[in-house]
Amino acid sequence: MTGGSEQVAHQALAHADALYNFARWLAHDPVEAEDLVQEAYVRALAAAHQFEPGTSLKAWLFRILRNAFFDRRRRSRREADYVEELEAEGEPAESAMAELQLAQIRALVAEDVSAAVQALPESFRTVILLDVEGMTEAEVAAVLGCATGTVKSRLSRARAVLRERLAAYRP
């Protein structure tokens, strides 16, 4: 964690009670409120580099918590609709729930992969994204205006970084 991120993390703790009270008011459930506060802190720490010094840290944290609450609401509505749809198609409730859990796991993995790609330096991220789009190394080199060897090197280093960051998913 960089110095600025550590400072944001330290200062953010001072707002824990206020965040919890706001989360209780939004969720009407103490357990969900605790989860929301935890999620807000996780998101804030991941985005601490985006916090602009001189602005209100408290307002920034409250916005993150509010967004987390609405994201959860949207997600739970989609999940309920999905289970209803599967049951309407004749899927037993247990099977529908198992499929939903699998979809949730896939979404978590996708979020982790996305976060890992986002954390790459811009030059690495660009070659990875163009590679995923199916472009050849020569095509990527043409897009970036650099040598094919440079693309190969960046691609190799980007993949190594992603392998390291996503090591928990290796068998």
Answer whether 124's CB lies under 8 Å from 154's CB.
Answer: yes
CATH architecture of residue range(s) 120-171: Orthogonal Bundle (1.10)
**Residue that is written with structure tokens 């020569």 in the block:** 138
Helix axes 137-144, 122-132, angle to 10 degrees: 130
Closest CA to 79 of 109, 110, 56, 102: 102
The CB-side HSE value for 35 (13 A sphere, CA atoms) comes to 11
Instruction: Say yes or no to pLDDT of 147 above 90.
Output: yes
* pTM (2 d.p.): 0.47
CA distance 116 to 125: 10
Q: Where are the domains of the chain?
A: 1-113, 120-171
CA distance 163 to 155: 12
Tens-digit pLDDT profile for residues 105-119: 666 677 778 888 888
Same fold, 1-113 and 120-171: no
As a whole number, the mean pLDDT across the chain is 82
CA distance 10 to 156: 36
At 12, the pLDDT band (50, 70, 90 cuts) reads confident
Tens-digit pLDDT profile for residues 71-89: 888 877 776 766 677 667 7
CATH architecture of residue range(s) 1-113: Orthogonal Bundle (1.10)
Q: How many CB atoms lie within 10 A of CB 16?
A: 13
